[in-house]
Copies of this chain bind each other. A is one copy, B any other.
Amino acid sequence: MPENQIRVKFEPQGRVVSVLKDSKAIEAAARAGLTIDTPCGGGGRCGKCRVRLITAAGVPNDAECRELSAEALSQGWRLACQTTLEADAVIAIPESSLFGSHHQIQVASDTGHCGDLRPAVRKEYVELPPPSLTEDAPDLLRLENALGPFDIQLPLVRDIGPRLRDGAFRGTAVLAEEELIDFEAGNTTGQSFGAAFDIGTTTVVGTLLDLHTGSERAVVSRMNPQTSFGDDVLSRITHAGASSENLAALRDAILGEVNVMIAALCADAGIRREEIYEITFAGNTTMEHLLIGINPAQLGQVPFVPVCARGIARPAAELGVHIHPRGRSYVFPVIGGFVGGDTVAGMLATELPELESPAFMVDIGTNGEIVLAHNGQLWAASTAAGPAFEGARISCGMRATRGAIEKVVFDGGVRCSVIDDAPPAGLCGSGLIDAVAELLRAGIVTSDGRMLPPEALPEGLPGELRARVRRTENETVEFLLAPGVALHQRDVRELQLASGAIRAGIAILLKQAGLDVTELKHVLIAGGFGSFIRRNNAQRIGLIPPEIEHTRIRYVGNTSLSGARWALLSTQSRRRAEELARRTKHVELSTDMDFAMEFAMAMRFPD
C-alpha cells in the first residue's frame, strides 16, 4: 500500500475501500457506494451525517462538539462531513445516515412525502379452515375469505388445490398488488426479496433488497453490454432503428446482463431467484425503450417523442426477466424523449420538489439531465453530455472500477487515489474532474481549455508538475498522472463539451423560470458512476456554476438507483413517481437556439 493511502471498512455492509489519507469520512463512504446524506451541504450544521468510528476516532472539531453530545463523542460518533481519516479505520454507518435509505422511507412517511415500507408485494401467512360437508366453499373462495379478493393466473389456479391440501390448508400467500402470485408451504413471511436496477447508458447497477426489512442484501454493477453497439444514446437509437435484428440484439444484450446480474445478486445473498418477487427499473428513455424492446427510432427524429409515458407494470416474465415465475416488473415513467425514468427516480429519491425552492438537480451520466423545482413547478431537460464522465471518449478513461484513479490532488506533486488500491489503470469521472480542476489551478490548462506545452508553462510551477507535461508524438500535449495514465489535450476538450452542455442546460432552465443562479437554495449533484464528486472541483471546471455558494451543493449519489429502490419498497413512492413524471414540464434543448448560444459560452472554463 502506498504510504499516502489508507484502508477504510464500513459496517454493517462490510465494504472496504482504500482512499487518500486525510480524506473525509463521507468521501470514503461514497467510494464504497454508500451515499451519506448531507442536507446542510456538508457544513456540519444539520448533524444528519453521523457515523461511529469503531477504531480510534480523531479529536472532534467545533461543529462536531456542537452537534453531538459528550457521551456520543466518547463513543466514537462523529460527523461524516467533518471528520478526516488519517489512518486505517472501521466505521459504522447507521441506516438513518444513508441517503435514500429504507429508514428514510419510514421516517418520511410521517410527513406524507414518500411513503412507508409497503412494497407492492406482500406476504401473509394463513391458516384456513379445512373443507368439510358443512364448510364446502371452493378453494379460491376459502383463500379470498382470508385475503380479500385477488386476481390469479391460470398456472397457479391449476396448482393451488394440491398445495392447499399438502400443507393442511396452511401456508403463505404471496400477493403482488391485487394478484395472488404464489402460495408457499409453511410460514415464509420473513423471506421476501426484490431487485432495483438503474440501467445507465454506460453502467448498470442492480441491488437486492429484503422487502420485509427494507435493507440491502447485495449490490452489483456492470458495464452496459450495449456499449459495444455505440457508447452514447444516439448511436444506440441509430443502430436499433436500422433493423429489427439490431433491436433484438440490443434488447437481448441488456436483458441477458440483467439476468446475469440477478443471478449474481442471488448468489451473493444466498437466496433463490424465485424468492425475488418484484424488480424495478429506472433508466433514461432510450434505455427503457430498449429494455422493453420498443424500437427507439422515433427518439432520433424531431420531435423526439417516446412511446411510453407512464410506468410500465407488467409480469417480469413478459419483460423477459428471470425472477419468480409470476413476479412483477416496474419500469419507471418518463418525461420526454431524453428525460427518462432515471430523472423521475432522482426527483423521487431526493424529494427535490419538497426542498426549499428554487432547487436544482443535475444528474451526471452519459446524458446530463437537469431538473429545476421552483414554487411547485418543475422543469426538466437533457443535455447530450456524452459519456466522458463515465470514462468513455477519454484516452485513458475507464469506469469507476478497480484500478481507476478516482481522486487527484496536486500538493506540489500529484497524489492519486486508486480504486481497490490497485496499480493505476486509467481515470474515472471524478478523477477526471479533479485532474482538470487542478490543472486549471496550476495554470497548465487555460480557461479556453488549452493545455500549455512545456515551454509555455507558468514560471512558478513546481518542478514535479512541470516534468509531467510532455509533447506527444503527434505534437499535442499530455499530462502524466501516473505511470501509463496520461491526460491528453483532447480529453480536456471532451470534458469541456460535457460540462459545457450541462452548464448551458442549467442556464436555459433558470432563464425559463426567470431565476438567477445565485438564487438557488439547493443544488443536488447526482451521478451513477460510483464515485464522489468534489464540489469545489466541479465548480472549478464550470460543471456547476461557480457563483453558487459551496454549502448549497450536495452530492446525492446514484439517485436513479435510489428512486428504483424506493419504488420497490413503497407503492406510495411509485404513485408519486407517476405524478412527478406527468407534472414536470419537458424542455427540449436540442432545437433551442438559446441553448446553442449558451453552450458555446459554457465551453469556456470559469476564470
A residues lining the B interface (CB < 8 Å): 131-133, 135-141, 144, 149, 153-154, 157-158, 160-162, 165, 292-295, 297-298, 302-310, 312, 314, 318-319, 334, 336-337, 586, 588, 591
* A336 CA / B138 CA spacing, docked (Å): 7
Among B149, B154, B295, B304, the residue within 8 A (CB) of A158 is B295
Chain B residues whose CB sits within 8 angstroms of the CB of A160 once the complex forms: 307
Question: B303–A591 contact, CB under 8 A?
Answer: no
Closest Cβ of chain B to A590, distance in Å, is 10
* A294 CA / B131 CA spacing, docked (Å): 18
Q: How many copies does the complex hold?
A: 2
Chain B residues whose CB sits within 8 angstroms of the CB of A586 once the complex forms: 136
List 18 additional contacts besides A133-B303, A136-B336, A161-B298; criterion CB under 8 Å.
A131-B305, A132-B303, A133-B588, A136-B304, A136-B586, A138-B305, A138-B307, A138-B309, A141-B310, A144-B310, A154-B293, A154-B314, A157-B308, A158-B292, A158-B294, A161-B297, A162-B295, A165-B298
* A334 CA / B295 CA spacing, docked (Å): 44
* A55 CA / B64 CA spacing, docked (Å): 106
Question: B302–A337 contact, CB under 8 A?
Answer: no
Chain B residues whose CB sits within 8 angstroms of the CB of A135 once the complex forms: 303
* A603 CA / B3 CA spacing, docked (Å): 103
Chain B residues whose CB sits within 8 angstroms of the CB of A154 once the complex forms: 292-293, 312, 314, 318-319
- Chain B residue nearest in CB terms to A336: B136
Question: A140–B310 contact, CB under 8 A?
Answer: yes
If the complex has contacts A154-B318, A314-B153, A319-B154, are A131 and B303 also in contact, measured as CB distance less than 8 A? yes
Question: A161–B295 contact, CB under 8 A?
Answer: yes
> What would 19 A/B residue contacts be, using CB atoms closer than 8 Å?
A132-B303, A133-B303, A133-B591, A135-B303, A136-B303, A137-B305, A138-B305, A138-B307, A138-B309, A140-B309, A154-B292, A154-B314, A154-B318, A154-B319, A157-B292, A157-B294, A158-B293, A161-B294, A161-B307
Question: A302–B588 contact, CB under 8 A?
Answer: no
* A160 CA / B337 CA spacing, docked (Å): 16
Interface centre among A153, A154, A162 (most CB of B within 10 A): A154
If the complex has contacts A131-B303, A132-B303, A303-B131, are A309 and B157 also in contact, measured as CB distance less than 8 A? no
Closest Cβ of chain B to A364, distance in Å, is 24
Closest Cβ of chain B to A254, distance in Å, is 14
Among B136, B153, B157, B314, the residue within 8 A (CB) of A305 is B136
If the complex has contacts A153-B318, A157-B307, A319-B154, are A136 and B588 also in contact, measured as CB distance less than 8 A? yes
Question: B133–A306 contact, CB under 8 A?
Answer: no
Question: A337–B136 contact, CB under 8 A?
Answer: yes
If the complex has contacts A161-B294, A292-B154, are A137 and B312 also in contact, measured as CB distance less than 8 A? no
* A398 CA / B54 CA spacing, docked (Å): 89
* A139 CA / B294 CA spacing, docked (Å): 12
Closest Cβ of chain B to A11, distance in Å, is 42
Closest 5 pairs (CB-CB, A-B): A141-B309, A138-B309, A138-B306, A131-B305, A136-B303
Chain B residues whose CB sits within 8 angstroms of the CB of A136 once the complex forms: 303-305, 336-337, 586, 588
- Chain B residue nearest in CB terms to A131: B305
- Chain B residue nearest in CB terms to A134: B303
Chain B residues whose CB sits within 8 angstroms of the CB of A141 once the complex forms: 309-310
Chain B residues whose CB sits within 8 angstroms of the CB of A337 once the complex forms: 136
* A316 CA / B337 CA spacing, docked (Å): 34
Chain B residues whose CB sits within 8 angstroms of the CB of A309 once the complex forms: 137-141, 144
Chain B residues whose CB sits within 8 angstroms of the CB of A318 once the complex forms: 153-154
Question: A305–B591 contact, CB under 8 A?
Answer: no
* A15 CA / B133 CA spacing, docked (Å): 48
Closest Cβ of chain B to A579, distance in Å, is 13
